[in-house]
Amino acid sequence: MSLDLEIREQRREKLEAMRQGGADPYPRRFAFSHTLAEVDSAYAATTAEALEAERVPVAVCGRLMAVRGHGKAGFGQLLQDGTRLQIYVRQDSVDADSFALWKDLDLGDFIGVHGYVFRTRTNELTVHAERLEFLSKALLPLPEKWHGLQDVEARYRQRYLDLLNPDVRRVFERRAKMVQSLREQFLARGYLEVETPMMQPLAGGAAARPFRTHHEALDIPLYLRIAPELYLKRLVVGGLERVFEINRNFRNEGISTQHNPEFTMLEFYEAYSDYRVLMDWSETLLAELARQVTGGTEVEFRGERLDFSHCRRLSLRAAIREFWPAGAGAAPEIAALHDPAHERSIAERYNAFAHSSGAAAVPLESAGEGALLTAVFEHVAERHLLQPTIIYDFPVAVSPLAKNKADEPAWVERFEIYAGGMEIANGYSELNDPEEQHRRFLQQLTLRERGDAEAHALDQDYIRALSYGMPPTAGEGIGIDRLAMLLTGSASIRDVILFPLLRPETQGPV
């Protein structure tokens, strides 16, 4: 028998003994008077003398995380909602049943303690127990060290244990604070928070492979949404001129340190604005977010000090020139980057360098004017964009929902925000011409027929909505998970998602 199985069997025997003795090992409630945090806060500055004179009665509860001392007295440590508090149990201060319970407890058990607050000789705030109640049995032992699991995959798979680590808990507390800050900033700007469908008859609003399902009663295929964009813009058509949503998207793609198939996005739309308005607003938003969440605008991420007080701005073409690898020869001239005739030769020049250096090559089958340049940008520049940077102006070929630039119709008013070497936001001036949008959708259908599974579907109802008129509008999506990575210094997206997607376990739990 393994040690874990032996320990579990011993704990089950204790559980059965409690039941045989007439006790309920899983009672329905405990009437606590204070949380551990409230005790710690209320009496943090109270002296030992004052506590002794007052004898403040309390009833507290939590998970037993540590025990020391033997014989007729001992100390324990309770954990509740991230706060720890010491308890003191002495044989002559509690009834016989309580002391028998104390001697039989295992680490991980939940208990309730009735007593009073005092300070030990070392001045530690402590609850002097007068009666104990059993609240729940831990049949499995906690990890050897109270701060949680060490194996990375086990941490993600058993987040309920990983959260015993105060550092892990702080990551998710900071993430929650981040979402709250975003929500408050949008409400202060006059936005309305909304919810749009998770299951959609067409997967639209982004270029991605969707998850498919089926509705039995209506006998129709449905898709888990890859983006809420088209529904949010329908709301703008309906007169909700500033809307935002914080919710889940689903994309049937690979898993990496930056990708999880189920992820959280903030998406928002603002009527009578364009992409430059949102660039300015996003810069302000991120700076204030960093201040509210971390206390300043600088954060540590993967050994780099990132400063969110401002965002550098570069056009996509300028970024290619700036980060063009030295081993690939002279950077393309700006005139060549503006001439579609040079696009393929620029990509081939980069690929020659990539083949000789072992780097990934640009797929030369990318279709549409500017699509190859976008692929070159992704290979050449993205990983170098460590400090917060706005990259603006993208080809229409990779932006089917964005408004054309007035002076260059093959390119659109679009921007992306990068930090830590990864994209965290994508926004643009919205295409609100229904006839042009219909033409773009037809182009996407052609790509689908050629085998592009991520090409956008033709959404006739969205065209109908635009035909009723949508004012000039700008919209943007911000990746909550990646932003949480940056503001918590987390190396992987799995570190900021409570339950990331994992392969099934090869064997069941003990």
* pLDDT score, position 145: 57
At 354, give phi and psi (nearest 5°).
Answer: -60, -40
* pLDDT score, position 284: 98
**Per the domain annotation, does 197 fall within a domain?**
yes
Bridge partners of 347, per DSSP, are none
The CA-to-CA distance between both ends of the chain, in Å, stands at 12
* pLDDT score, position 492: 96
Q: How many folded domains does the chain comprise?
A: 2
* pLDDT score, position 1: 54
**Per the domain annotation, does 507 fall within a domain?**
no
**Per the domain annotation, does 382 fall within a domain?**
no
Q: What ranges in 421-459 are assigned the alpha helix state H?
A: 434-449
CA distance 223 to 284: 35
| Contacting residues for 20 by C-beta, under 8 A, at least 6 apart | none
Residues 483 and 392 in one domain: yes
* pLDDT score, position 422: 97
Residues 196 and 275 in one domain: yes
Helix (H) / strand (E) containing 85: strand 83-90
Q: Give mean pLDDT in consecutive 10-residue pieces for the chain, a chain of 510 residues.
A: 81 94 93 97 96 95 93 96 97 96 96 98 97 96 66 90 94 98 98 98 92 97 96 98 98 95 98 98 98 98 97 98 96 96 96 95 87 96 98 96 96 98 98 96 88 86 98 98 98 97 74
What domain range is 43 assigned to?
A: 3-142
Q: Pairing relation of β-strands 125-136 and 83-90?
A: parallel
Q: What ranges in 82-240 are assigned the alpha helix state H?
A: 96-104, 152-157, 159-162, 166-188, 229-237
Domain harbouring 49, CATH code: 2.40.50.140
Number of H helices, E strands in the chain: 16, 19
3 state SS of 384: helix
Closest among 472, 378, 85 to 76, alpha carbons compared: 85
User: Burial letters for 380-393: b for 16+ Cβ neighbours within 10 Å, e otherwise?
Assistant: bbbeebbbbbbbbb
**Per the domain annotation, does 9 fall within a domain?**
yes
Residues 133 and 172 in one domain: no
Distances (CA, A) of 463 to 239, 261, 453, 482: 17, 28, 22, 32
Residues 136 and 187 in one domain: no
Residues 268 and 393 in one domain: yes
Distances (CA, A) of 374 to 63, 206, 240, 320: 53, 16, 33, 9
* pLDDT score, position 450: 84
Residues 178 and 281 in one domain: yes
CA distance 128 to 195: 50
